[in-house]
Amino acid sequence: MKRSTGLAMLAMGLLAACAPTPKRTALVVGESPCVSGRFDVYFVENQARLTDAATVLLQTAAEKAKACRVNHVRVLGLADATGTVEANLSLSQRRALAVAEALTRAGMPAPAFEVNAAGDAGAVNASGADELLRRRAEVFIETSPR
């Protein structure tokens, strides 16, 4: 009995292997370029000049946005706690402007940019320690499909 059951299972396995496999159709879901989002652009200490990596990032963002309706772009410049309050505010303003200008040069189809600067506000946490990675500009892009 065991032998006949084993032979029957082997035969079924061989028949199943010969049966045509149904053709699979893959559904490819790509990332829509028209998704609102946020990203950061980092700067060298005490500088508002864009790095090569930042320039590439901004060019890529502008290129992706060309397929969309750009409803709003907001850039917020930040600075760390080194330096005076006035110097940090000026630096964060220059960082925000550098990002907005680079997006414009790269062809970002925005109706208007909202450019703000926070200076060193929030650069130190409640315990008095420096917040990390404050040498940046935050970019918020609101898009929708055309």
Q: What is the CATH number of the domain that holds 54?
A: 3.30.1330.60
Closest CA to 43 of 140, 116, 137, 124: 137
pLDDT digits 0-9 by tens, 15-27: 444 444 444 444 3
Q: Identify whether 3 is part of a domain.
A: no
- The string of DSSP codes covering 51-94 is PHHHHHHHHHHHHHHTTEEEEEEEEEE---SSS-HHHHHHHHHH
For tokens 């929708």, what's the residue?
144
Q: Identify whether 26 is part of a domain.
A: no
Separation between Cα atoms, residue 75 and residue 40, nearest integer Å:
9
Number of structural domains the chain divides into: 1
Alpha carbon distance, N-terminus to C-terminus of the chain: 70
User: How far does Cα 44 stand from its chain's mean position?
Assistant: 20
Residue 14 CB coordination number (10 Å): 9
Q: What per-residue confidence (pLDDT) applies to 112?
A: 80
pLDDT digits 0-9 by tens, 77-104: 999 998 899 999 999 999 999 999 999 9
What does pTM read for this prediction?
A: 0.75
Residues in the chain with pLDDT < 50?
4-28
Q: Identify whether 29 is part of a domain.
A: no
